[in-house]
Structure 1
C-alpha cells in the first residue's frame, strides 16, 4: 500500500497485538512514524473505537485510517465511527499483512521494546519515549520532531533550547529519499505482477498451508492497488492480494449455475443429479468401431493402432 503523505496525521494505521497474554492497540502516524500503544481490556469494536477517539482527540482526526479486516474494524460500530468522525476507513488485503506494513512494522518494534523492558524490569513507556526521540536514519529527525515540530522532554539531560519548536523544511525531501532507498533495496529481486481486470479467470492460493488446492474463480471487483475481490467456483466471494492470485486461461466458471446450485435445497439437488445420471445411463449407446472406421480421441485426434495389430480386426 503506497500512500504519499505530506503532513503529519493525514494518514494513520492501526492494529491489535498480544504481549504477555494482554491485548494492545497500536496507532502509528504515516508521515512521522510516531506511534502510541494502548492497553485494551478486550478486543471488541467498542473498546477499539474508544481508544481511537482518545488518540484523535489528542492529535486530530486523520483523513485516512488503515487497518486489517479484523472483526473489530469491519463491525458496524466502527463504520459508524468513521462516518461520524469524517475519516475514510481503508482495509488491507486478508492474508497479506504487508499491505498494512506501517502498523506491522510498528507492532514488531513495540514488541521488541516491551520484551526488552520486561526482561530488564524497566518502564516500557520510558523506553517508548526515548524511541520516539531517536533520529531516523537518513532523515536526521525523530518521530516526535516530525509530529510535534519539537523534541519531547525525557529523563536524559538536554539543553532547553533544543526543546523549542522548530519547523524543519527539509524533512519531506529526506523522508522521500529514505523511502526510495528502502524501495530499491526491497525491489532488488522483486517484480510487479501484471494487473488483473474484472472478468479475468484466476486461481486463488489457499491461506491455510495445509490446503493445497487453488480454487478457480473470476475477478469481480478491484479494491485499491493489487487488491481484488474474487468469486470462486464454489460461489464464495473473497478479497485477495495480487500475489495470492494466478492468472489462468481456463474457462471462467458459470456463476449463474453456481448461484442456482447454492440456492437450491440439498435433497432436490441430489434427486436431480441422480435422475440425470440414470437417464444418461439408460440412453447411452455403446459405440462400435468397424474394421474400416477411424478411431479418434474425445478431442478428435486420430488414434493409430500399433503396427503388430494391423492384421487383426478391431471390435
Structure 2
C-alpha cells in the first residue's frame, strides 16, 4: 500500500507510467502509431544487454528496424546475471541517496508531531504505527491522516487541547456566564408600592462584571480575557 503524496515508494509503477507517457507524446508529435513506440521500447536492450521482451519470452521481437536472424533466435537469458546486476544497481542508488539523507528520530504512538498539509506544518498526535515509515496521525480538529515519515516532524510540544463536544461547550459557556453575570441594585420607586418593597433602578456593578477566568472556544483554543483598567 502506498501512502498519500509519496509516489517514491511505488517507483517501479511510476517509472513505467512515465515511459508510456513519453512514448505517447512523441507518437502524437510525429503522427505515428503509439503501439509502434511501445514495441520498439520492448525490443531495445537495456543496460545489462537484454531487452524486456527477451526477459519475458526468451527471444527478441521483430520490429520496424531491420536485424539479423541470430538476434531473433530464441535464447534463454542469464537470469542470475540480471538479478546480480539489478541488486548492485540498487545498492549504488542507495549509497548516492544516503549521501544527502539524514536519519530521522523514531516515532511511537502518542508522540506530538507536526504534519505537512500543503505548505503548512500543523500540530498532530500519532495514533497508529503501521511500519517504521508509515503512521496515522490525528489533528486537533479531529482529522486523521496516513503519512510517510518524511511528512512528519517530531516535536517536544505539550499534548494538544482535547476536543470538546457541542454539549460540553454549552455547559462551559453557561457556567462562565453565570459566574460573571452583573449584579442589580433596586433603586426605582413603583407607584402604589411602599419604599421598602419597591424595586430599585438597575445599576451594573462593573467591578463584578470583569473576570480573568480563561475559557475554551469551539475550536479548542484557550482564551484569556484582556483586562483594561480605566484611569
- Using the size of structure 2 for normalisation, the TM-score is 0.69
Q: Does 1:188 align with 2:99?
A: yes
Structure 2 unmatched runs, 5+: 182-207, 213-231
Measured after TM superposition, the shift of residue 280 of structure 1 is 5.4
In 2: Cα distance, 1:153 partner to 1:192 partner: 49
Q: Does 1:278 align with 2:177?
A: yes
Measured after TM superposition, the shift of residue 233 of structure 1 is 1.5
Matched with 1:135 is: 45
Matched with 2:31 is: 121
Matched with 1:170 is: 81
CA contact (8 A) 1:203 1:217 kept: yes
5 Å-filtered alignment, 1:1-315, equals 91-137=1-47, 139-163=48-72, 164-168=74-78, 169-206=80-117, 208-209=118-119, 212=120, 214-253=121-160, 257-258=162-163, 261=164, 264=165, 266=166, 268-279=167-178, 281=180
SS of residue paired to 1:174 = helix
* CA-based RMSD: 2.5
Measured after TM superposition, the shift of residue 250 of structure 1 is 1.5
Structure 1 unmatched runs, 5+: 1-90, 287-315
CA contact (8 A) 1:198 1:219 kept: yes
Measured after TM superposition, the shift of residue 159 of structure 1 is 3.1
CA contact (8 A) 2:50 2:77 kept: no
Measured after TM superposition, the shift of residue 174 of structure 1 is 0.4
Residue 192 and residue 125 in structure 1: after superposition, are their counterparts in 2 closer, same or farther (change >3 A)? farther
Aligned length: 183
In 2: Cα distance, 1:93 partner to 1:279 partner: 49
CA contact (8 A) 2:113 2:154 kept: yes
Measured after TM superposition, the shift of residue 127 of structure 1 is 0.8
Structure number, greater radius of gyration: 2
